[in-house]
Amino acid sequence: MNPRHFAFITITIFAVVLSLTACSGAAEPPASPEISTPANEEVTAPETENEQASEGTRPQNETFDLMTGEGNQSHTATLHQGEGFSLYGFEKFDFDAAQGRLFLSSNPEYYVNIEPLPANYDLTQLKSAGKKELEEFGKVSDFSGELVEHPLGSAELYLKTSSDEGINDYIVWQSETGDAFLFRLHNPKGEEASDFASPALVSLSTVQGDS
């Protein structure tokens, strides 16, 4: 073979090898494609919102101490949702959300009506209306202020009538969150009176406005 021809073939083959090697290197994928993905790519915001929502929700059931004929006993109450508020009710009670009424299941004549008050409520006007409302049941007594050993603890306004027919209360009370409510409690004289009073008052102490 002609030496010149041989040298030309050798150079050509060498050039092809270099070309293939260069092409092969350019086509090679990155060794670690995951590096291009941000480490914080995972969406965590919804989980945080869910956790916050969970923290702001009241438990479905709570246990409270009730004064009974046998002393203080623990009883479980269930959360009820009303119009703009929630509260816990005990086993022998039902709750009418539309009327905002908590009542004794065995006798609906034993009840308390719950009414959320506006932020700018007029206490003087409410006191006048309460006295007028209760006077038809008998003499009105005023126990406003600190209530010793009472489930509500204190009340801005606490009017009461007590007669042979039973007890009626007219109460303006603020929850721990600052929401104000008007409670109208009707507790007739009868065998079920003792089953109603204590649990109903404890339930009222759990009333809380919706945030």
Over residues 25-62, the pLDDT tens digits come to 444 444 444 444 444 444 433 333 333 334 468 999 99
Q: Is the pTM of this model over 0.85?
A: no
Phi-psi region of 204 (alpha: psi -120 to 50; beta: other; left: phi over 0): alpha
Task: Supply angle C-alpha 127, 129, 132, rounded to 5.
Answer: 110
Residue 211's pLDDT is 67
List C-alpha distances in Å: 201 to 52, 64, 169, 198, 207: 31, 12, 11, 5, 10
Tens of pLDDT, residue by residue over 164-210, are 999 999 999 999 889 999 999 999 999 899 889 999 999 999 999 98
Residues 144, 140, 95, 145: what is their CA dihedral angle, to the nearest 10 degrees?
0
Strands (E), the chain: 61-68, 71-81, 85-89, 93-96, 101-104, 107-116, 140-142, 145-146, 154-155, 157-163, 166-174, 180-188, 208-209
